[in-house]
A and B are shown apart, each in its own frame.
Chain A
Amino acid sequence: MTQIISKSDLITWLNKLAESHVLIGPVNDNAGVTLFRKVSQAEEIAFDFTNTTLSPKEWFFPPTETLFTVERKDGQVELVPAEDVEAKVIFGMRPCDARGIALLDKPFLNEPADTLYQQHRDKTALIGLSCREVLPECFCTSMGTAPDDSSNMDILLTEVADGYIIQVVTEKGAALLAECPEGLLKQSEVTPPALSSAATVPIEGITEIMAENFDNVYWERLADRCLHCNLCAYVCPTCYCFDVRDYNDKGKVERVRTWESCQSSGFTRIAGGYDRRAGKAPHLRQRFYHKLFYFPAEFGSVACVGCGRCVKACPVNVDIREVIMDVHNLGGQSGQQ
């Protein structure tokens, strides 16, 4: 027996949660872009979305956020750290994106933890939604998650014919469900529909092979067509480069952090003007070494969840699945030239 909730009752429950939380969910805008946005009521949510244009990482690691302000008051200099005080519920987290957040935790919550990130995490509950459809660009099952993976959620919902199956995963999730008005949850025998399987990529052993191929001419050839935009990093749920700058307005200083990426010309140059990754190939190679070599070496898993966003969005089809396969074919005999 499982607990299920009908769609209209789900909306009622979400609206109830919205009374005490900021409710965030996927929203379609006029221009054909779907983003996780604050909604004033659950009816605004696009329940039938496939995948959002940007990942929900923007609610934990926002494109732009103030870290602290410094102000002079009565002859004293006062430093006020930014604080996240809003309790939030994100509805519609996909399993890949939730794993993305779990991966972001590793660098951000590694001691000393990033205070603001920690607050966003603590203040936010995740109501996941299993995927109904595996898209051609998806390869989550090779990257440690699956269309119905509940592991990084507080609650996971799975759509079935007459509503959504509810799986409570954490205490935070149980607390949210406790707020569900009485009588809305039903018992049912339904089982979730079977899904087609996601594309598979040979990820096994990739880190060892990467270790052998740093100087391979492959990266030169791959970088030929790369435009070195920030697109792939900005759509990615696991990329976390940032830039920090002070804004000074009439004596009030604000320290601001924004998204950045390894493809930008300022990458590493910001720290003293020396570009350790100068040139096309070193720039693009950095993207794949960070995901498939440095991150696993540091934190134990590859920094990709197989959401397929970069596959779909790259203007020139730099396809990480193809790169992983190519690297496999490079094998151990380092093809240095």
Chain B
Amino acid sequence: MEKQIRDKAKELLSSQAVDCVIGYGRATDGVTSRPLFVYEPEKADELIFDKTCTHNLTKYLLNRKGKKTGIVVKGCDSRAINVLLNEEQIKREEVSIIGVVCEGIVEVSWNQVSEILQTRCRYCHQHAPLVYDFLAGEPIKELLPTGEEHPAVTEIEAKSLEEREAFWSEHFDRCCRCYACRQVCPGCYCTECFVDSLDPLWVGIRIAPAENQIWHSIRAFHLAGRCAGCNECERVCPMNIPLRLLNRKLANTVEELFNFQAGLNAEEMQPLGTFIKEENVGIG
């Protein structure tokens, strides 16, 4: 698979079909991976792909508007490509997608590679990308049948209102508002995020419980029906805040109400970005 990725990257760069290929390279710990931007065909041999390639690289396409770019995309990440296409943030003709068939990524942190499959991968139905120009790896039959998912979400749902409040307060109180979760998220590309707006100041600048809660609640809503489920926000959080639970809950709600899952194709409009008068789902 690595050879396929490298060969394709070389071809794209030598033929000047693209001027950069975004893929994965080895991190400084020698065992995990990191995003790698390849500009010269000779450097394409530094590209790797293995079970540590956790990053959703599609975020970087937002920095390369108007430039031809090759990109390595896993199944889950391909849903973010569809979201960005649908929201007209990227142009299909500017992006050459090297899709990879992925059997799952393990829990990784700097200098540590575990044997534990990431949660998103345990419930993955998207081992092959939905959209690509070239596919590296053999298409595999989907490893998991659709069925009961995200038991952790169900667990929280079963709690009382007070218990849920206590659960989330404990986590949100710890948030240091570093915004790594937002910065890594392909769905968070606003020129000015509500939380950065200085005038008006929608949210106070305190790094404190009340402000933290507003930050998290609003961000979660902005991602409802748009979150591709890559779970990068949770991975990057230095404070181990289980952001995935919040995003999954809202994704489930959007699916129940509108029978919609984010990023399955580039055409269908996301429900919260659409207004259909007849669509009275009882939320106001």
Contacts and interface: CB of A to CB of B under 8 A. Distances in A.
A30 B37 CA distance: 37
A235 interface: yes
B241 interface: yes
Given A33-B240, A259-B207, A312-B111, A221 B37 contact: yes
Interface stretch (B28-36, B73-81, B141-149): B28-36
A313 B238 CA distance: 7
Interface string A204-246: 0000000000000000010011011111001100000001010
Contact of B198 (A33, A35, A136, A270): A270
Given A280-B63, A312-B109, A235 B238 contact: yes
B250 interface: no
Interface residues of B, number: 43
Given A230-B176, A256-B206, 4 more contacts: A136-B29, A231-B180, A266-B198, A316-B34
Nearest to B176: A234
B239 to A, nearest CB: 6
A93 B178 CA distance: 23
Given A224-B60, A225-B35, A319 B28 contact: yes
A48 interface: no
10 tightest Cβ-Cβ pairs between the two chains A and B: A317-B34, A229-B180, A315-B236, A227-B183, A63-B207, A229-B183, A31-B240, A225-B35, A317-B27, A224-B37
B88 interface: no
Interface in B99-147: 109-111
Contacts of B179: 229-230, 264
Contact of A31 (B32, B37, B239): B239
Interface of B: 27-29, 32, 34-37, 55, 59-60, 63, 109-111, 170-171, 174, 176-180, 182-184, 192, 196, 198, 201, 204-208, 232, 235-236, 238-242
A85 B223 CA distance: 44
Interface string A46-58: 0000000110000
The secondary-structure label for the interface of chain A is loop
Contact of B110 (A54, A264, A312): A312
Interface of A: 29-33, 35, 53-54, 63-64, 136-137, 221, 224-225, 227-231, 234-235, 243, 245, 247, 256, 258-259, 264-266, 269-270, 280, 311-317, 319, 321-322
A312 B232 CA distance: 16
Contacts of B176: 54, 63, 230, 234, 259
